[in-house]
Amino acid sequence: MLNIVKKNAGNKYNGTVVVTEEQVNKIDKSFSSKFDAFCYGIANNWSKKSIMKYCLDTERDQYFYNYYLKYQASKSKSE
């Protein structure tokens, strides 16, 4: 019998830094994909709404969680 243990089942994103349009405009970085921009937002502890607005350009929560699962998977591979 398969025993599936979810390591990330209780991991909710808790970023708290709310960024403004002015702060985002001061960032002098280029990203090759939305995922790279998402990772930048996560690394800087941006709030979920800030990441959705400035990195993913969406208001749909499901997109955020899809990217967050991809982010967690990429972190577990590198460890």
pLDDT, one tens digit per residue, over 54-78 is 999 999 999 999 999 999 989 877 6
Query: For residue 41, is it within any domain?
Result: yes
Is 21 inside any structural domain?
no
How far is the C-alpha of 33 from the C-alpha of 42, rounded, in Å?
14
- Which range of residues forms the domain containing residue 42? 31-78
Task: State how many domains the chain has.
Answer: 1
Contact 17, 46 (CB under 8 A): yes
pLDDT at 24: 93
Question: What's the chain's average pLDDT?
Answer: 88
Q: Which residues contact 31 (CB under 8 A, 6 or more apart)?
A: 37, 40
DSSP-derived 3-state class of residue 17:
strand
Rounded alpha-carbon distances, angstroms, from residue 64 to 37, 43, 52: 12, 15, 6
Q: How far apart are CA 44 and CA 46, in angstroms?
A: 6
* pTM above threshold 0.85: no
